[in-house]
Chain A
Amino acid sequence: MKNELYEKYFQILEDNFGRYFNESNPIESVEKLLKQQMTSRILYETSDEVVNEIFDLFENNQKNIIAEINSLKGIRTHFCGSIAPQEVEKFLCQTGLYVDTTIIHDPITFVHSFKSYVNKPKFTELLFRHSFNMLKLKNALINDSETPMLRIIPKPIFLKDTNDIFDNADEQKLDYFNELFDEDFETNGELEKNILTLENTTDLINKISKGELLIPEITQSSDLITGFETFHETVNSQFSVKLDTTSKTYYNYVTGSMRSNLLDLNFSKDFRLINSFDSSNSWHIYKWMVKNQAKDVDKRTLIVNSLTLDKIKWFGNLKLDDVIIAREGFCLQEFREIIDKEMNFVDEDKDLVNVSTQISYNLENAFNKHQEELKTLERDYKFPFFANYAGVTTGSISLLYGVVNQDSFNLICGGLTLGSSLISLTKTIKNHYAKRTNLISSPLGLLFNVQS
């Protein structure tokens, strides 16, 4: 079922947008078409077909999709970040050597939910862009790794019983702002009356009592005013409905974050998944929410998120195809042991920084060992020819000249006399070569090359 489902998924994308994907620069071509008035309008009306077809495909296979997710083993993470496939690709590169399976939201069915918030050409452009970039994830969905690397969840499976969740989210939001402002608002109405009437950023900042609860995007700015105002501009640029004050923008952002975090938490709980993020803002709100529910963020969640959010996010420099090939070599468990080393001593009260520091230390030790092994192999690569060349004929020496390096060849011809046959020599070369290749293409080998 599984590959068949995803083959059909990609066939739908090709059928609907294939003509545009064949252009040399598809995204640029589509952007140009969307600037043409009548074309943009016809494309907007016709591009919905892809959404309907994908919805139907997933609806007809819903039970199978749920059964498969329930049957997954190992470390399974639910990616709560951007739905954009480019960001998913980066996430897979960052976590693909540690996590068994990542579950993402289907970008096509999810982008459809933004339809009323973005203007028509932007919506059409998003559909095209996401469809095109999903094709790049085809290998991640259909490959020979021991566990499936990537699986897609359509919106209807993810979203259910939203009323209760949204009520709960509103309670969380109230708690958050009460803590932020050191207030005791009893209802959301009271909260809104106090926050939404704040006309400027200074008024908002003056109300804040616990600045550390603000999202990193704001606190990492040179000052809070700049932080809030830049955040406000960024958010407004993304939506067709513009908000006029920073307090409204922040309030809306927190409202949306609480809801999406709760939806994510519920979904992950149902399928025993780890929630993982690609934005420190979302992670910040998520952590607060977990703590507010008197729970802890467990170590595994900290580890997975440190791969994407802190000092080791350079894992994203890997190429997806390399990660897929490495996984097909059944290397996950071995690599996980390196990452997980000494994690029992990391205090769960600490956060990403401590975990990623420990991981960096583990990796450094592993890299040193890996590089030593590689150097030893490369040194030993000369030795068999050095030590085992007695009785080799002239013809064979000529053949081997092409294989060994100049120094070794000279030594051989210098007349060393330990005995060996040509066949076993060739086997030894082959084994050394294979070991060297395995080391270079192993997770540590791949990571060592991209760490700078």
Chain B
Amino acid sequence: MSVDIGDYSYSEDVHNAILAYLDHVILKLKKDPDYNPNPIINAILLAINGETLENGTFAGIAGSSEKRTEGEKPDELYMATVEVNNDSLKILDITDLCTGNKLTVYEALLIIELSLKLEKMDKNMISPNEIENLFNEVVKDVLFLVVYPENFKQARDYFKEMLVKKMISIPPDEDLIKALGIITAYTPWEEYNPRVRAFISSIWASRECKFAVSLDSNYIPKHKIIPLFKMCFTGKAKEVILHNIKQKT
């Protein structure tokens, strides 16, 4: 089987990792027929379409199973395109339909690893410390720092200090500048504009060479963790992480 997605080509490591996860899924389904594997794997399995492997190119779409209100977007939705050729399977493409981005297999495996860790947590609401630990365990080469309502003041004060000392400059973005302008000493973190939260958090985290995760509440529902992770796994953070993984394999 060979896979070539994005910057990374298939390796024995990826093959064995996917097999290890599939073993786990088979075992879980034996015990609980209602078990829901990670939707990435579900999308691949749907593309293969059961036991008979006909030759050809197929696509499957699968999403997370959390119930939501009408019109609300799913937390995770993926499309996997596979090519079947004489009993060998080639994953051509995995697209995150929520963001429109293509995923590399390594990103897919990181998401699967995160979902395995979340599966073991017996609670529905996850704290910022737990989020930090989860992200840092999954993404070993980059450290994340979470800023949330209970700890945001030091980030805010540091940001202000850097601004006053002219050690940071605000980008020429009218909306951002306007949003910054209405903040007072008494404005709670939840009422900050999300872009402002992200900006302040990133300046705070950069002191420790970490990447920032800003949350507008002290606890996040478990089904929102993977979407949050995908949001953080973008831009410079993603570049660094994937580069380091490539070096090691």
Could you list which residues of chain A lie within 8 angstroms of chain B, going by C-beta atoms? 15-16, 19, 33, 36-39, 41-43, 45-46, 48-49
Pairwise interchain contact B24-A38, C-beta atoms closer than 8 A = no
CA distance A45 to B16 in the complex (A): 14
Smallest beta-carbon distance A60→chain B, Å: 14
Pairwise interchain contact B23-A39, C-beta atoms closer than 8 A = no
17 CB contacts below 8 A, A to B, read: A15-B27, A15-B30, A33-B16, A36-B17, A36-B249, A38-B14, A38-B106, A39-B17, A41-B109, A42-B17, A42-B20, A42-B113, A45-B116, A46-B23, A46-B24, A46-B116, A49-B28
Given the known inter-chain contacts A38-B109, A48-B120, please indicate yes or no for A16 contacting B27, CB distance below 8 A.
Answer: yes
* Across-interface contacts of A42 in B (CB, < 8 A): 17, 20-21, 24, 109, 112-113, 116
Pairwise interchain contact B27-A37, C-beta atoms closer than 8 A = no
Pairwise interchain contact B120-A46, C-beta atoms closer than 8 A = no
* Across-interface contacts of A16 in B (CB, < 8 A): 27
CA distance A33 to B11 in the complex (A): 12
Enumerate B5-60 residues with CB–CB distance to A below 8 Å. Answer: 12-14, 16-17, 20-21, 23-24, 27-28, 30
CA distance A53 to B1 in the complex (A): 33
Would you call the interface of chain A mostly helix, strand, loop, or mixed?
helix
Determine whether B230 belongs to the interface, using a CB cutoff of 8 Å to chain A. no
Determine whether B98 belongs to the interface, using a CB cutoff of 8 Å to chain A. no
Smallest beta-carbon distance B242→chain A, Å: 12
Please tell me the number of chain B residues within 8 Å of chain A, measured between CB atoms.
22
Closest residue on chain B to residue A20 by CB atoms: B23
CA distance A45 to B25 in the complex (A): 12
* Across-interface contacts of B153 in A (CB, < 8 A): none
* Across-interface contacts of A43 in B (CB, < 8 A): 20
Determine whether B117 belongs to the interface, using a CB cutoff of 8 Å to chain A. yes
* Across-interface contacts of A37 in B (CB, < 8 A): 13, 245, 248-249
Smallest beta-carbon distance A41→chain B, Å: 6
CA distance A275 to B185 in the complex (A): 67
Closest residue on chain A to residue B18 by CB atoms: A42
CA distance A19 to B30 in the complex (A): 16
* Across-interface contacts of A46 in B (CB, < 8 A): 20-21, 23-24, 116
* Across-interface contacts of A39 in B (CB, < 8 A): 13, 16-17, 20
Closest residue on chain A to residue B115 by CB atoms: A45
* Across-interface contacts of A49 in B (CB, < 8 A): 24, 27-28
Select one of B13, B28, B30 contacting A38, CB under 8 A: B13
CA distance A41 to B106 in the complex (A): 12
Smallest beta-carbon distance A363→chain B, Å: 49
Enumerate B96-118 residues with CB–CB distance to A below 8 Å. Answer: 106, 109, 112-113, 116-117
* Across-interface contacts of A33 in B (CB, < 8 A): 16, 20
Closest residue on chain A to residue B14 by CB atoms: A38
* Across-interface contacts of B20 in A (CB, < 8 A): 33, 39, 42-43, 46
Closest residue on chain B to residue A19 by CB atoms: B23
CA distance A228 to B71 in the complex (A): 69
* Across-interface contacts of B30 in A (CB, < 8 A): 15
CA distance A39 to B23 in the complex (A): 12
**Residues 238-249 of chain B: 1 if any A CB is under 8 Å from the residue's CB, otherwise 0?**
000000010011
CA distance A43 to B30 in the complex (A): 19
CA distance A39 to B116 in the complex (A): 13
Closest residue on chain B to residue A18 by CB atoms: B23
CA distance A49 to B21 in the complex (A): 12
CA distance A46 to B12 in the complex (A): 19
* Across-interface contacts of B248 in A (CB, < 8 A): 37
